[in-house]
Amino acid sequence: MSDSQRFPVAAHALAYLAHKGAYAATEAEPSAVLAASVPTNPVVIRRVTALLAKAGLIATRPGASGGSWLLRRPETICLDEVLRAVNGCAHLGSPPAGAKGCPIGEHIPRQVAKALTAADQAAGAALSKITIADLLEEDPEVLRAFAPHPACPDVDAA
């Protein structure tokens, strides 16, 4: 799975667990069920849920009767936490090293790296205002002013 897909998959999985009311081991949702909802391969879900468990957002149990469940209420899980849990960033790329001996090639990568840091910080600040519970609402106030990102598939057309 590409780095750019871990965050959307993680947010989707957390929202699904909240929707299903999976707050205890007895309510665990199997990776195959989560994968069908995304849709993706269960192995992808297990990789993402391992990261979410390491961050303390969910618990997991392996095996045929295994699955994942939330350790916190969805209104207390902000998306910046989810992004950090899956080692995500704004995914704007990384600057090439630049040519040695070229004044621009030696200077620009450092400045572009700083600009990427600024973008990551801005993304984190925006995501810190959005919770998993917000994602489950039809038209949450915190997202009302935004249209879907143009690079995302048009889910309304499906």
Chain segment 112-133, per-residue pLDDT in tens: 888 888 988 898 999 999 999 9
Please give the pLDDT value at position 89: 67
Cβ-based neighbours of 119, under 8 Å, separated by 6 or more: 90, 92
**1-5, 45-49, 73-77 — which is least confidently predicted?**
1-5
Say if residue 69's pLDDT is above 60. yes
**Residue 151 pLDDT grade (very low, low, confident, very high; cuts 50, 70, 90):** confident
Say if residue 90's pLDDT is above 90. no
What's the whole-number mean pLDDT along residues 52-61?
A: 97
| φ, ψ dihedrals at 91, nearest 5° | 55, 50
What's the whole-number mean pLDDT along residues 85-111?
A: 79
Cβ-based neighbours of 77, under 8 Å, separated by 6 or more: 14, 57, 70, 131, 132, 133
Q: In the chain, what percentage of residues exceed pLDDT 70?
A: 91
Say if residue 140's pLDDT is above 80. yes
Phi-psi region of 152 (alpha: psi -120 to 50; beta: other; left: phi over 0): beta
